[in-house]
Amino acid sequence: MRLFFFSLLFVLALEQYHLWWGKNGVQDHNQLQEMVTLAQASNNTLILRNNMMFSEIDDLKRGSEAVEERARNELGLVKEGETFFRIVPKE
């Protein structure tokens, strides 16, 4: 009877070891959960960036104001009849 009890206790301890530290155990689950959380945070920032880009694309396709604004800011273009003033700071 005593041998049976100790063998059952040994099997229980072995199963507990596999549960906590073995492959696909609690430790692996916690590590994977942290990786999923980091991936979701990264995906959320990329989704926001993509949404901003899609809205900018829609503005460029539909309206001339967005195209004009980009031409003024990035290319330095001026409309006909406008006067361009460049202010240079003192050094």
Q: What is the pLDDT of residue 56?
A: 85
Task: Return the structure tokens found at 63.
Answer: 């309206």
User: What is the pTM (predicted TM-score) of this model?
Assistant: 0.52
Domain residue ranges of the chain, discontinuous segments joined by +: 2-75
22 token code pair: 């073995």
Q: What is the mean pLDDT of residues 78-88?
A: 84
Angle at 37 between CA 35 and CA 39, to 5 degrees: 70
Sign (positive/negative) of CA torsion 26, 31, 37, 40?
A: negative
Report the pLDDT value the prediction gives residue 50, as an integer from 0 to 100: 97
Nearest 5°: the CA angle 47, 49, 54 is: 90
The SS3 of residue 81 is coil
Is a pLDDT exceeding 80 seen at residue 36? Answer: yes
pLDDT in tens, 39-52: 999 999 999 999 99
| Six token digits for residue 41 | 């945070």
